[in-house]
Structure 1
Amino acid sequence: MALGRFALDYGLVPAPTRPETAVLLRCPCGPVTAFVPWDGRRSGNPVRFHSVPAFAAATDLAIDVPGHGKVMVDIGYGGTFYAFLSAEQLGLDVCSSKTRDLVSAASAVTEAVKKQFKLHHPESEDLAFLYGTILTDGKDAFSEEPTTNICVFADEQVDRSPTGSGVTARIALQYHKGLIQLGQTRTFRSSTTGSLFTGKAEK
């Protein structure tokens, strides 16, 4: 989303259109189209995008996490793979626990999943790696209220947003489990900044 705005604001799109410009981004996972508001001079919000195909890779997977015992995780793909579980399973609260404790626990989950579960991507094994773990408030069933998560990825980095690829993967999992229907919009909140994303499953 940020890259789409950057491309418009720095003149990398040859013929932007008002009130919205489609920006094709060629990402490692495949082509992603961002739709960026454009007033003729500069970009704006909200930006939306069409993801690459997303899917559930595993659900209710039992993983032994050192220091935490056995937990149940889901693994979803939304441009990259993430492990998902409620922070409660780790004795934490995604909204009130200290960020460093959430980061430590999520990183332990990531390392445990890497050792205990082999990922497979249907198109490219170069994409078959776990990028991080997303801890949630456990509110996966459809609701008009936001559901909160924190994404810990790469080298224990924390996303300030709800995470575009993570939201995509989480929606794919919720749809796979029958918790949401096609076209139902859900709102996702970052536990660190309170920023909001909305998303829905489409075919």
Structure 2
Amino acid sequence: MDLAQKFDNAREALKCIDMHTTGEPTRIVYSGFPQLHGTLLEQRDQAKTKYDNVRKRIMLEPRGHFDMYGAIIITDTELIKSGEAHIGTLFTHNGGFSTMCGHATIALGRFLVDTHDLGVFPKRDELKVDPKTQTIDVNIHAPCGLIRVTVPTTVDGRESDPSRPVTFVSTPAYAAAISLTIPIPAEKRWVELAGRDSITLDISYGGAFYALIDARELGFDGLSKIDLSRIGDVVKDLKAYLMTHPDVVEALQHPEDQRLSFLYSIMVVDQGIGSRPPGVSGAETGLCFFAENSVDRSPTGSCVTARMALAHAKGLRPCNQSWAYNSLVSNHFDTGAFTASILEEGILLQGGNGVDRQAVLVRVEGKAYYTGALSFIVEKDDVTSESGFTMAECSG
């Protein structure tokens, strides 16, 4: 048996396609993840409690790294059964499972159009190409709800067109807290605060909750030149504190489900800089620390949704105005910014978990590219890689 056969025939082989969106990886797991059952949020719970070792195997060393990101294909959910969605997904990272991810959605859109394997995507043949726009619409069920994705294609619709951006419209987004003043206890203050005893931040929801803080509010001189290690240390400690603060906890309560009600990320923003593609009214930059303080290389699509909702709530962003959002990577290469606009306002979110919210629908677009295809196995007695590891675990 040659090596290719060994990998193909391995009983628990995990088969993946790797892509990137503005440098941020998406490892798409299309075969080999243990079968899950129930609603998608129930499947997310099962993946967290029963198969976290598999998540670590995919994300962490030696197959991945601390900042790896993934999307697991799910072929059976309640929205697939109802006909609202074509496919489902679970988003995964170094700390567990998220509820929404924009950069991974952009990558998934291309992959789902390009695959014609009905074992991977049973409803692929239901996708229809629009001959006028040369696009295909794909509805993806994510833990936060339904994501409507539009993928540019070749004329015959058989393949995606990487020269044009993928767009998505996520679930309704809203500003959860505006200009929230958070006191910082003396023992938790950092040197860059320069004697201040509080900070002001916003909290907004774009499929996941983000605390949005201006870099200068943290005591840093914008994001044009930044010490990533230093600001990362500050954000890590700050996030842990914010997650216990009563005003923040209250703002994080999503009306529809407690399982959506957690602080996913801190986004440090700089509205004074940003690569500006043609056709937009303005540009800005953000540095996103998510999960276990992973750094997003992309502009962070779900946070772009949240930032648009926040700007709209502040009266800064009307419907149909196009705005560009950058990461450090898109600024460096002067390409890869995500652009966004608000499609609809006045959407009422109601439920039993929190106060009613006025929300908007946001359209986000960006480009993703393929980087490789992989099959992962675990050989007998390979304790080191069975669940994956981080160097921090080994050194602590």
TM-score above 0.5, yes or no: yes
Instruction: Give the drift of 1:16.
Output: 4.3
**Structure 2 contact 271–283 (Cα < 8 Å) conserved:** no
Show structure 1 runs of 4+ deviating over 6 A. none
Does 1:127 find its partner at 2:260? yes
**Structure 1, gaps ≥5 residues long:** none
Q: When the two structures are superposed, what TM-score results if normalisation uses the length of structure 2?
A: 0.48
Instruction: Give the drift of 1:138.
Output: 3.7
**Structure 2 contact 137–148 (Cα < 8 Å) conserved:** yes
User: Which whole-Å deviations, capped at 9, do the CAs of 1:111-156 have from their partners, x for residues lacking one?
Assistant: 22211121210111110000010000145xxx82310111110011
**Structure 2 contact 281–321 (Cα < 8 Å) conserved:** no
Match 2:241 to one of 112, 129, 132: 112
Alpha-carbon distance between aligned partners in 1 of 2:311 and 2:179, rounded to the nearest angstrom: 12
**Structure 2 contact 113–158 (Cα < 8 Å) conserved:** no
Percent identity of the aligned residues?
35
SS in 2 for 1:115: coil
Counterpart of 1:50 in structure 2 is 169
Counterpart of 1:27 in structure 2 is 142
**Structure 2, gaps ≥5 residues long:** 1-105, 273-279, 345-396
Alpha-carbon distance between aligned partners in 2 of 1:138 and 1:75, rounded to the nearest angstrom: 17
Once structures 1 and 2 are overlaid, which stretch shifts more, 179-188 or 8-17? 8-17
Once structures 1 and 2 are overlaid, which stretch shifts more, 15-24 or 152-161? 15-24
Output aligned runs, 1:54-65, within 5 Å.
Answer: 54-65=173-184
User: Which whole-Å deviations, capped at 9, do the CAs of 1:147-183 have from their partners, x for residues lacking one?
Assistant: 0111110011111111110000000000000011111
Does 1:80 find its partner at 2:221? no
| Structure with the largest fraction of helix | 2
Q: When the two structures are superposed, what TM-score results if normalisation uses the length of structure 1?
A: 0.92
Match 1:175 to one of 304, 312, 316: 312
**Structure 1 contact 55–169 (Cα < 8 Å) conserved:** yes
**Structure 1 contact 82–133 (Cα < 8 Å) conserved:** yes
Does 1:197 find its partner at 2:338? yes
User: Which whole-Å deviations, capped at 9, do the CAs of 1:52-102 have from their partners, x for residues lacking one?
Assistant: 000000011112342244110100000000000111111222221122223
Matched letter for residue 209 of structure 2: F
Matched letter for residue 42 of structure 1: E
Alpha-carbon distance between aligned partners in 1 of 2:292 and 2:271, rounded to the nearest angstrom: 24
SS in 1 for 2:343: coil
Matched letter for residue 102 of structure 1: I
Matched letter for residue 204 of structure 2: G
Counterpart of 1:157 in structure 2 is 294
Match 1:90 to one of 211, 214, 218: 218
Alpha-carbon distance between aligned partners in 1 of 2:115 and 2:230, rounded to the nearest angstrom: 39
**How large is the Cα RMSD of the aligned pairs?**
1.8
Alpha-carbon distance between aligned partners in 1 of 2:199 and 2:271, rounded to the nearest angstrom: 13
Larger radius of gyration: 2
Once structures 1 and 2 are overlaid, which stretch shifts more, 180-189 or 64-73? 64-73
Instruction: Give the drift of 1:3.
Output: 1.1
Alpha-carbon distance between aligned partners in 1 of 2:224 and 2:329, rounded to the nearest angstrom: 8
Once structures 1 and 2 are overlaid, which stretch shifts more, 160-169 or 193-202? 193-202
Equivalent pairs, count: 201
Distance 1:9 1:112, change over 3 A: same
Instruction: Give the drift of 1:109.
Output: 2.9
Matched letter for residue 122 of structure 1: P
